[in-house]
A and B are shown apart, each in its own frame.
Chain A
Amino acid sequence: MRITPSAAHRGEATAAQATKSLGHHSLTPYLFILPFLVFFVLFRFGPSLAGLGIAFTNWQAVRPPQFVGFANFQAMLRDPLFGAAFTNTIFFVAITVPALIIISLGLAIFLNRAIRGRSIGRLAVFMPYVVMSTVVGVVWTWILDKDFGLMNAYLNIFGIQDVPWLVSESTALFGIIITTVWWTVGYNVVLFLAGLQDIPGELYEAARIDGARAWAQFRFVTLPMLAPTTFLVVMLTVINSFQVFDQAYVMTGGGPGTSTLTLVQYIYTTSFQFQKFGYGSAIAMILFVLLVLVAFIQIRAYRQGYEGVE
């Protein structure tokens, strides 16, 4: 959707004239907004505020909630399970995000060439993303099976011994990381391809005339022109990675031990298996703060990058 400033401006101007003719006390706009607003307040805005409130209570299933101040947050500091969930999630994000960005950018550049057959490549790369997360989990549990899995069978061909993948504490998280990269890389490829197609071809032509080779073209044309897209893709990937749950739930359920316990998995178990709503909400708040923090850092870095260019 391309919105030229002039079109948007025109829209605003005539909308203003239109409202004049309708009179200022018209109820119509409110009637248009109201249905959505009811849903929004009941199921999104209200629960968000309530979640913030519940984080400061000791609410266990049927007993009425008590205000406990920061007790839940203090308890987290002494909770080894929370520590494991926190570390695992950060580790997962730190590996998955760069992997997903680099691989998807590479694939997008590769598939952006005007050659016959590229549409098949795009279709194939995006295909895994269409499959629902829990099916992906089931299938990859089988592929990563220690004894009969496809992965180890191929690794054996290259002389690599059987990797225990999901049944060992040291490799289980990597199994989930590989699964996640395979599953979601196509989504980023689609976003990057859309960004690449917006770069005017003349820029590359000019760079070629100036004698820029492939790497220089990538470094000085593609990367800077793609910056807004990259910013967005990184943001979305970070947000999604912090919320990893479905695949891990199906493949390991947090185990073995606590080696694949993630923040969302821990929120789920605390709140819905142990009925500790207060503590669960407090962990959810930590997740929220992490997301806001990372978004803030990214926006700063992005702005500074731009000022550097100008």
Chain B
Amino acid sequence: MSKRTSRIVWYAGLVFIVVLALAPLVWMLSTSLKPEREIISTGIRWIPESPTIEHFTEIFTKRPMTQWMFNSLFTATAATILVLVLDTLAGYAFARLRFRGRGVLFIIILSMLFVPIQITIIPLFILFTRLGLTDTYWALILPVGANVTGVFLMRQFFLSIPAELEEAARVDGASTLRILVSIILPLARPALTAVAILTFLFTWNSFLWPLIVTRSDSVRTLPVGIAQFLSLRPGMVQGQMSIGQSMAGAVAAALPPIIVFIVLQRYIIEGISRTGLKG
């Protein structure tokens, strides 16, 4: 095969892959802009004949979409801040500070990576019921604080920073916390970004626990709202949404993360390669 034909084959393959990956999302958008009678018609029409935004106005007036979005955004942000604080402190201690039981403790923490969260949700539900905290933001935020991956990532990153930097500051009499905040953290920005993005995505997308622990729209997160009210599953009576409205809701929920991803893709991809491999 000559260089040129191999190039053409490569580009054809690329187009095929891109189309396959994006077609369902484009179809979602296309359906959301079609009037209902155009949706229920056989034949494939990618561009709506008479586009309308009626489904969007209805979905936002009939269902508390904005409230769900706010709930998701708020809890994911709060959980991310919580995780950054907890995991920076703990990761630094595991990387640089000597204390009794460090090795054993670290192994116990890591071993929890193998325990599926489905084992913990029943006790967690009982715990939050006893505390009277079901159906509150607390129930959505606090359990994320036990995130194990973040501690591991921060520790690995701190181990890779040369210790001479801290040594000099210590000789000058700076406290451990002072050293961490003013010398180490500015260097740790890539690790902090990775942990922040991963935690945010994890909380934003999390479904099972919020499904169990939320009941009211003032707390319900976006994934749960979508699943309970926009599902087109046969026999799902709760929703009673038309296909157009479901797709409009899906577009509204999908668009913000897609935009954020396009803007931050370098960091997100780096974060994932890091957790997966280099961590």
Residue numbers of A with Cβ under 8 A of B are 1-3, 7-8, 10-11, 13-19, 21-22, 28-30, 32-33, 35-37, 39-40, 42-48, 50-52, 54, 107, 110-111, 113, 115, 117-118, 120-128, 130-135, 137-143, 145, 147-148, 150, 153-154, 166-167, 182, 186-187, 190-191, 193-195, 228-229, 232-233, 236, 239, 242-243, 245-246, 249-253, 255-256, 264, 267-268, 271-272, 277, 280-281, 284-285, 287-288, 291-292, 295
The answer to whether A132 and B105 have CB atoms under 8 Å apart is no
Known: A28-B176, A118-B14, A142-B246. Contact between A154 and B258, CB under 8 A?
no
Looking at B22, B95, B254, B261, the one whose CB has the most chain A CB atoms below 10 A away is: B254
Q: Closest CB-CB distance, A282 to chain B, in whole Å?
A: 10
Cβ A117 vs Cβ B14 within 8 A: yes
Q: Is B114 a contact of A292 with CB atoms below 8 Å?
A: yes
Q: Which of B2-48 contact A (CB under 8 A)?
A: 7, 10-11, 13-14, 17-18, 20-25, 27-28, 31, 39-44
Task: Indicate whether A132 sits within 8 Å of B226 (C-beta atoms), given known contacts A29-B98, A284-B118, A292-B114.
Answer: yes
| Among candidates A17, A123, A138, A281, residue contacting B167 with C-beta atoms closer than 8 Å | A17
In the assembled complex, how far is the CB of residue B142 from the closest CB belonging to chain A, in whole angstroms?
6
B residues with a Cβ closer than 8 A to A are 7, 10-11, 13-14, 17-18, 20-25, 27-28, 31, 39-44, 85-87, 89-90, 92-99, 102, 105, 108-109, 112, 114-116, 118-127, 142-143, 145-146, 148, 151, 153, 156-164, 166-167, 170, 176-177, 191, 204-205, 207-208, 211-212, 222-224, 226-227, 230-236, 243, 246-247, 249-250, 253-254, 257-258, 261-262, 265, 269, 272-274, 276-279
17 more A-B residue pairs beyond the given contacts A36-B89, A50-B123, with a C-beta to C-beta distance below 8 A: A2-B278, A3-B156, A33-B90, A50-B126, A123-B265, A131-B254, A134-B226, A138-B230, A138-B249, A139-B250, A141-B231, A141-B232, A142-B28, A148-B40, A150-B23, A194-B277, A249-B227
Given A132, A150, A182, which contacts B44 in the complex, CB threshold below 8 Å? Answer: A150
On whether A48 and B146 interact (CB within 8 A), knowing A121-B18, A133-B205, A245-B207, the answer reads no
Are B231 and A135 closer than 8 Å at their CB atoms? Answer: no
- Nearest A residue to B44, CB-CB: A153
Closest to A4 in B: B160
For B243, what are the chain A residues with a Cβ–Cβ distance below 8 Å? Answer: 142
When the two chains form their complex, are residues B231 and A44 in contact, meaning their CB atoms are under 8 A apart? no
Least Cβ–Cβ distance between B105 and chain A, in angstroms: 7
8 Å CB contact of B99 from A30, A128, A255: A30
- Tell me the minimal C-beta distance from B59 to chain A in angstroms: 12
List A contacts of B95 (CB < 8 A): 11, 15
* Complex CA distance for A8 and B161, rounded to whole angstroms: 8
Contact at B231–A167, with CB atoms within 8 Å? no
- Which A residues lie within 8 Å of B89 (CB)? 32-33, 35-36
CB distance from B244 to the nearest CB of A (A): 10
Given the complex of chains A and B, what is the CA–CA distance between A199 and B6 in angstroms? 23
Q: Is the CB of A253 within 8 A of B118?
A: no
Secondary structure call for the B interface: helix
- The answer to whether B14 and A130 touch across the interface, beta carbons within 8 angstroms, is no
- Known A29-B98, A148-B42, A191-B272: A125·B233 in contact at CB below 8 Å: no
Bound-complex Cα distance A135 to B224 (A): 10
Quick one: closest B residue to A251, CB to CB?
Answer: B233
User: Are the C-beta atoms of B269 and A126 separated by less than 8 Å?
Assistant: yes
The residue in chain B whose Cβ has the minimal distance to the Cβ of A193 is B273
Closest to A148 in B: B40
Residue of A131, A145, A243 contacting most chain B CB atoms (<10 Å): A131
A-B contact pairs, 24 of them (CB 8 A): A8-B159, A11-B95, A18-B170, A28-B97, A29-B99, A35-B85, A36-B89, A37-B90, A47-B127, A48-B112, A126-B265, A126-B269, A131-B257, A138-B232, A138-B250, A141-B231, A147-B42, A186-B21, A194-B277, A243-B118, A253-B233, A268-B212, A284-B122, A285-B119
Q: For residue A134, which residues in chain B have a CB less than 8 angstroms away from its CB? A: 207, 223-224, 226-227, 231
Cβ B234 vs Cβ A167 within 8 A? yes
Within the complex, the shortest CB–CB distance from B195 to chain A, in Å, comes to 12
Interface of A, helix, strand, loop or mixed by DSSP: helix
Asked if A48 and B120 make an inter-chain contact with CB atoms under 8 angstroms apart, the answer reads yes
State how many angstroms separate the Cβ of B143 from the closest Cβ of chain A: 4
The CA of A256 and the CA of B232, in the complex, are separated in Å by 14
- How far in angstroms is the closest Cβ of chain A from B133? 12
Task: Say yes or no: A124 contacts B21, CB within 8 Å.
Answer: yes
> Could you tell me the distance between the alpha carbons of A14 and B105 in the complex, rounded to whole angstroms?
22
Q: Which residues of A contact B90 (CB under 8 A)?
A: 32-33, 35-37
- Closest-by-CB residue of A relative to B226 is A134
A-chain residues with CB within 8 Å of residue B146 when the two chains form the complex: 39-40, 42-45
Least Cβ distance of A81 to chain B in Å? 16
List A contacts of B99 (CB < 8 A).
Answer: 29-30, 33
A19 near B97: Cβ-Cβ < 8 Å: yes
Q: How far is the CB of B25 from chain A (nearest CB, A)?
A: 7
Q: In the assembled complex, which residues on chain B have CB atoms less than 8 Å from the CB atom of A131?
A: 25, 254, 257-258
The reply to whether B98 and A16 contact each other, CB–CB distance below 8 Å, is: yes
Cβ contact within 8 Å between B120 and A47: yes
Q: Which residues of A contact B258 (CB under 8 A)?
A: 127, 130-131
In the bound complex, residues from chain A placing their C-beta under 8 Å from that of B249 are 138
Query: A128–B25 contact, CB under 8 A?
Result: yes
Q: Give the shortest distance, in Å, between A76 (CB) and chain B (any CB).
A: 15
**Chain A minimum-CB-distance residue to B45:** A153
